[in-house]
Amino acid sequence: MPIVVVHSNPLFWVRLFAMVFSCVAFAVTVHGANVGHGTGDWCVFCWAFSFAGTLLVLLVELFGLQTRAPVSWKNFPITFACYASLLCLSASIMFPLFFVKGSDKNQSSHDYRIVATVFSCLATIAYISEVSISKARPGEVAGYMATAPGLLKVCETFVACVIFVFITNPDSYQSHAALKWCLAVYCICFILSAAIIVLCICECTGCLPFPFPRFLSGYALLAVIMYLSATIIWPIFKFDSKHGGTSSRPSICRSYFGLCPWDKVMAVAVLTAVNFVLYLADLIYSARLVFITV
């Protein structure tokens, strides 16, 4: 029979606060924020997903079921916390932009939206604190996902998912073969990074027919080269008039609720550059892992 183990360490309390804050954020939104837009559904998902995952982690640790979990408990909690921090951060940015800015302050829903935004920000801080507490320290033996390269993998996949949201319209990449190459870069790098995360969480890295650290270093180099090409190609074919692009924001975008097509193209360009920097940092850490540790 499982025995409940009550922890008093800072990590337990940070997780508890993160769970409570995310729960309040989505409960308040569902109760009275009156958000019917698709963006509101995404924000509610971010908070509800974070709450459910943190509740699962707390229950497993309270009942001492880490050894019975079908995943590596050295890698899973910090991986989830990193994703939850990014999800809550995105909700903390998008929710006030879409539902607080410009809303009628006399409506009762306005107060609910303010409360949801505040608790979303608090949840973000709590999850970032959890990641900071859980990450590996120099000389400490920890799972790969608790190291800098592991956390960078989470950020890389998250940024890639956001890019996919902005290029759901095939017209954004079908006009040129070079833009299709950019799409291929996003897909290939996302799949490989996600596969690495799954292998670490499931503790299957030893099943590979080659040394895992050298694979990480080689993949990071390949990803840097691919993302460097996409960072250059996407703006050329989207903002250079010689290739059919538009360098300035069209006036029609002022009438859009949310992001117009040009805004999404610009967001993809910025996020591509962000992921290039993340992969470059990943390459540096992975190279150190191979040439210094091994």
Instruction: Please enumerate in sequence order all residues whose Cβ is within 8 A of that of 92, keeping only pairs 6 or more positions apart, or say none.
Output: 117, 120, 121, 124
CA 25 from chain center: how many Å? 19
pLDDT category, 7, cuts 50, 70, 90?
A: low
Cα separation, 218 vs 230, in Å, equals: 19
Instruction: Note the pLDDT of residue 102.
Output: 64
From residue 88, how far is each of 74, 113, 131, 281 by CA, in Å?
A: 23, 15, 13, 24
From residue 159, how far is each of 63, 201, 269, 283 by CA, in Å?
A: 34, 20, 12, 17
Cα separation, 223 vs 220, in Å, equals: 5
Q: Is residue 31 within 8 Å of residue 86, measured between CB atoms?
A: no
pLDDT category, 293, cuts 50, 70, 90?
A: very low
Instruction: Note the pLDDT of residue 141.
Output: 62
Residues 50-65: tens digit of each pLDDT: 999 999 999 999 988 8
Q: Mean pLDDT across the stretch 221-248?
A: 87
Cα separation, 8 vs 188, in Å, equals: 43
Residues 154-169: tens digit of each pLDDT: 999 999 999 998 898 8
pLDDT, the chain, mean: 86
In this model, does residue 246 exceed pLDDT 80?
no
**Helix orientation angle between 177-201 and 76-95, rounded to the nearest 10 degrees:** 140
- Of 160 and 209, more confident: 160
Half-sphere exposure of 219 (CA within 13 A, CB side): 20
Q: Is residue 19 within 8 Å of residue 83, measured between CB atoms?
A: no
Share of the chain above pLDDT 90, in %: 51
Q: Mean pLDDT across the stretch 74-91?
A: 95
Exposure class string for 165-191: b at 16+ Cβ within 10 A, else e: ebbeeeebbeebebbeebbebbeebbe
Cα separation, 249 vs 236, in Å, equals: 15
Torsion sign across C-alpha atoms 193, 195, 199, 202? positive
Half-sphere exposure of 71 (CA within 13 A, CB side): 18
pLDDT category, 292, cuts 50, 70, 90?
A: very low
Cα separation, 125 vs 118, in Å, equals: 11
∠ CA(90), CA(91), CA(97), 5° rounding? 95
In this model, does residue 6 exceed pLDDT 70?
no
In this model, does residue 76 exceed pLDDT 70?
yes
